[in-house]
Structure 1
Amino acid sequence: MVYDAFVLLSFGGPEKPDDVMPFLRNVVRGRGVPDERLAEVYEHYMHFGGVSPINQQCRDLLAALETEFAAHDITLPVYWGNRNWHPMLADTVAQMRDDGIEHALGFATSAYGGYSSCKQYWEDIAAARAHVGPKAPKIAKLRQFHDHPGFVRPNVEAVRSALDTLDAARRASTRLVFTAHSIPVSMAQSAGPTGGRYNAQLEETARLVHAEAAEDLPYDLVWQSRSGPPHIPWLEPDINDHLEALAEKGVTDVVVSPIGFVSDHLEVIWDLDNEAKDTAARLGLGYARAATPGVHPDFVSMVRELVQERTDDRKRPALGTLATWDTCQIDCCPTPVRRGAPR
């Protein structure tokens, strides 16, 4: 297959206060969530002036990729389309059609398998192409990359840097805590051929980062950013509940590493740099939050290498043992019943 473009696929976020509520309505479209239930989430965004960092982070990644591609003689033009806010993917696909693009490679800003982190991007692509019509370019999503060296290494460096900010004299009572976005238990235990892949890949990433960054420390994988009605079980423990439990066990310091995310967007800076940090302060815990990959050179190089896997049939670098795939079976990651407001 000859590819003639690259497109960044992301979640999207508001860039001014007037964007916030329309953006949130896009996120919950079809779930019957009234505006009153979005009010709390609205305040999270207003805490940061009504601006989510995610769109600028996408711009920064695109700029870094253009430089990286040029340095390696990759001549693909780059595009960007979001699920929930401008630039919307359907508009981007229409522009690609107008530019004569026929077959593009898509990179989603999520490392893992699962419905929201992988399959929903396939659905986004299908919906955007259907909206544009029969001349819409085809988009092949690049594979998951949870154990790619270019994803693991930046997380290792970030954990080491965060540890350096804590009191070395208390290292024996320090713990490493990895976090990722919680999902409903029903999604995590889906019966499809990839059931449990999200959890398993996160566990493997945590193991790989821990082994290189702080093998002497105990570690846990916990969850953040849950949403939806309280009677629906989601993956636990929540990061804040876990900090409570660690303090009771005599832990004095924690490094929190958000391996479930590729950049410091709002769920990272609100849930971890505000709520979890406040919880740690209340408990008297030393607290350091490790950075996400962002535009770390190894992460940028990883995206270029994923492109070259498809265009040049190169070897697939992997530090773990779990399989990743280029296309999904039709019955993988069943579409969930969507209820509840976002965080």
Structure 2
Amino acid sequence: MDHPVFDAVLLLSFGGPEGEADVMPFLENVTRGRGIPRERLADVAEHYLHFGGVSPINGINRALIERLRTLVDVPVYFGNRNWQPYVEDTVAAMAEDGVTRAAVFATSAWGGYSSCTQYVEDIDRARAAVGEHAPQLVKIRQYFDHPAFVQMFTDAVAAAAQTVPDGARLVFTAHSIPLSARSRCGPNLYERQVAHAARLVATAAGYDDYDQVWQSRSGPPQVPWLEPDVADHLRALADAGTTAVIVCPIGFVADHIEVVWDLDHELKAQADDAGIAFARAATPNAELALVAADLFEELRTGRAPIRVETPNPPPLQGFSVDGALCTPNCG
């Protein structure tokens, strides 16, 4: 059977500021149309300014691309939703270079609107901006249960466990979303995928008991988001006498600002104040190129998806992972 020919890969990401002058324009891009007060943006800006206005995601993505270029035999391009290089400009450059069909690897492992469908919308917007000469762009599937992805977090948990006393509580965390958005792309799709991935990693790492919580909520306090919040949960663990924790940011494929600020800075300070030994498991970062390369090969050869299997049925009742591709208008 003949399979479609792909002549490029596009790494599609969220974007982030690269200097102090970029921070507020970047945050305005991210929140456009959402009515976020400027005072709130100023608060978030301080998180970036703590690191000189530079988001760590930019350097990580460039390192990921360099690694991916050693693993695939086609050119690799880089485009962002919210900052330079903007995906519209990148797709225009791809068209000028003669690219006709590219696989798109998004730096999100998950389903749901902001995690998957919004990237599909980014692709459609970029192609529309370029016009009739735009290359065909095919989004690579979600990869929350890809063996390499699960193994990276499993190894990270094991490494973190070596830095804290035995018996540390394992806590998985992912970015919270408003309850109003939880079923836009299928009933509780995102949170069920996160729970499934946490279970796969915990099982592989040898943990029968663990917690799964949420973090980095934004917006007005009267709008309900997924809970419990990781900071609230840490307080509850302290009250229960927990003396050591391993926090695994399962929802993040790389060291976003929500990892290096919300966890490494704020949550660690909270743990220190409570007398709790704290370890944060590493994210895949540039090693995610191994997942991207394998999924690119899967796409262009038509190979059946490879997923981590568990001895017991995963908690995804009513959801087929084989159909876990978002569509532009889900919900």
Same fold (TM > 0.5): yes
- TM-superposed CA distance for 1:38, in Å, is 0.8
Give the alignment partner of residue 194 of structure 2, picking from 202, 207, 219.
202
Q: Residues 183-332 of structure 1: matches in 2 within 5 Å? A: 183-190=177-184, 194-216=186-208, 218-296=209-287, 299-320=288-309, 322-325=320-323, 327-329=325-327, 331-332=329-330
Q: Residues 1-343 of structure 1: matches in 2 within 5 Å? A: 1-69=4-72, 75-168=73-166, 171=167, 174-190=168-184, 194-216=186-208, 218-296=209-287, 299-320=288-309, 322-325=320-323, 327-329=325-327, 331-332=329-330, 334=331
The ranges of structure 1 where at least 4 consecutive aligned residues each deviate by more than 6 angstroms after the TM superposition are none
1:216-243 Cα distance to aligned partner (Å, 9 max, x none)? 5x21110011011111100011110000
| Counterpart-to-counterpart distance in 1, 2:39 and 2:213 | 29
| Counterpart-to-counterpart distance in 2, 1:331 and 1:84 | 21
Q: CA RMSD in A?
A: 1.4
- TM-superposed CA distance for 1:34, in Å, is 4.2
Q: Which amino acid aligns with 2:231?
A: N
Q: Which runs of 5+ in 1 are unaligned?
A: 70-74, 335-343
| Counterpart-to-counterpart distance in 1, 2:283 and 2:326 | 27
Q: Which amino acid aligns with 1:123?
A: E
Aligned length: 319
Note if contact 1:141-1:326 (Cα within 8 Å) is conserved in structure 2: no
| Counterpart-to-counterpart distance in 1, 2:164 and 2:264 | 16
- TM-superposed CA distance for 1:324, in Å, is 4.0
Could you say what secondary structure the match of 1:68 adopts? coil
Give the equivalent residue in structure 2 for 1:72: none
Give the equivalent residue in structure 1 for 2:317: none
What percent identity do the matched residue pairs reach?
A: 54
1:7-28 Cα distance to aligned partner (Å, 9 max, x none)? 0000000111111111111111
Q: Which amino acid aligns with 2:195?
A: E
Q: 1:326 to 1:91 in 2, by over 3 A?
A: farther
Q: Which runs of 5+ in 2 are unaligned?
A: 315-319
Q: Which amino acid aligns with 1:188?
A: R
- TM-superposed CA distance for 1:35, in Å, is 2.8
Q: Which amino acid aligns with 1:305?
A: D
Note if contact 1:142-1:326 (Cα within 8 Å) is conserved in structure 2: no
Note if contact 2:63-2:286 (Cα within 8 Å) is conserved in structure 1: yes
1:291-329 Cα distance to aligned partner (Å, 9 max, x none)? 001123xx3222111011111112311014551447434
Could you say what secondary structure the match of 2:250 adopts? coil
Note if contact 2:116-2:326 (Cα within 8 Å) is conserved in structure 1: no
Note if contact 2:111-2:193 (Cα within 8 Å) is conserved in structure 1: yes
- TM-superposed CA distance for 1:32, in Å, is 3.0
1:230-284 Cα distance to aligned partner (Å, 9 max, x none)? 1110001111000001111121110000010111121110010011111111111
Could you say what secondary structure the match of 1:105 adopts? strand
| Counterpart-to-counterpart distance in 2, 1:162 and 1:268 | 15
